[in-house]
Amino acid sequence: MMFIRSFVFFLGVLAAFALGWIGIVGVPDMMLARIEAPPELKRYTAEQLYGRSIYVREGCLYCHSQQVRPEGFGADQARFWGRPSVPADYLYDKPHLLGTMRTGPDLFNIGARQTSEEWHLLHLYNPRLVTKGSIMPPHPWLFEEKPTAGPGEEALVLPDSLAPARKVVVPTAEAKALVAYLLSLNHTYPVSQGAASDDTAKTRR
């Protein structure tokens, strides 16, 4: 009797868990397995992937989302952050970087919105150089201080107050890769929202 009761208990517990897993992960994932990549969605280059790993390493994710909300849900459309994102946009993403915070703006289309490599480098070195009042962390360890810029290197143009004495600041390969990744975040190509995910587009309000 006691054994049977324990058995039923653990069976119920396992079933409750498994149903949830199948229901909200397994089934959606299976349905999404059918979608195809839009032709304009490019695979990341080696450099962009390297940059992406630095995005993960520095935890940009904790302040920036990469998902655009549809019309009528928030102001993403009115802020021109891009068309609503669809599952097909993320086919090559691992780990996913959808994010849950917007301490800073959404970056899903930052490559279309801010195309200047120079701006990005300055901003990464110290965000307050380009945006007064920003609370984004500075990332000086992605840069190098040296007496003069080497061949093919370009030093940042810093105000005197921040420039190190008799030295210049040049981006490392990490900074350049990170910017290459940011510039690749451009999902402005058209998608047929219906094909990409049948009911995402339809029932979103």
Partner 1 sequence: MSRPPAERQVSRTIAADQRLSDELTRIGIDDSAASPTVLFLASGVAWLLIGSLMGLIASVKLDLPDWLGGAGPITFGRLRPVHLNAVTYGWISLAGSGMIVWLMGRLCRTHIRWTALLFLSAILWNIGLFLGSALVILGYSGGMEWLEFPLPAAAVIALAFILFALSMFRTFAARQVEHVYVSLWYILASLTWFPLLYVIANAGLYQGVGEAAMNWWYGHNAITVWFTPIGLAGAYYFIPKVIGRPIYSYYLGLLGFWSFALFYNWNGLHHLVGGPLPTWAISVSIVASLMMFVPVLAVAVNHHMTALGHLSMIRYSPTLRFVVFGAMSYTATSFQGSLEATRSVQEVAHFTHYTVGHAHLGMYAFVTMVLFGAVYYIMPRIAKWEWPYPNLIKVHFWLSAAGIAIYFLSLTLGGWLQGLAMNTPSIPFIDTVNLTKPYLWGRAVGGTLMTIGHCVFAYHFLLVIHRAGPKRFAPVWFRKAEEVAAP
Q: What is the DSSP letter of 102?
A: -
* Contacting residue, 74, 105, 138, 140, with ligand HEC by CB under 6 A: 105
Torsions phi, psi for 193 (to 5 deg)? -60, -30
**Residue 103 or 192: which CB sits closer to ligand HEM?**
103
* Contacting residue, 47, 58, 145, 153, with ligand HEC by CB under 6 A: 58
Q: How far is the CB of 178 from ligand HEM (least distance, A)?
A: 20
> In Å, how far are 79, 125, 176 from 108, measured between CA atoms?
13, 21, 19
**Residue 92 or 148: which CB sits closer to partner 1?**
92
Q: How far is the CB of 59 from ligand HEM (least distance, A)?
A: 9
Residue 198, contacted partner among partner 1, ligand HEM, ligand HEC, none, CB below 5-8 A by kind: partner 1
CA 131 to chain CA mean position, Å: 20
**Residue 137 found at the interface with ligand HEM (CB under 6 A):** no
> According to CB under 6 A, which residues from 62 to 81 bind ligand HEM?
62
What gap in Å lies between CA 125 and CA 157, rounded to an integer? 11
- Residues near 162 by beta carbon (within 8 Å), at least 6 away in sequence: 126, 129
**Residue 163 or 200: which CB sits closer to partner 1?**
200
**Cis omega before residue 95 (within 30°)?**
yes
**Residue 104 found at the interface with ligand HEC (CB under 6 A):** yes
The pairing of strands 168-171 and 143-146 is antiparallel
Binding site for ligand HEM (CB under 6 A): 62, 101
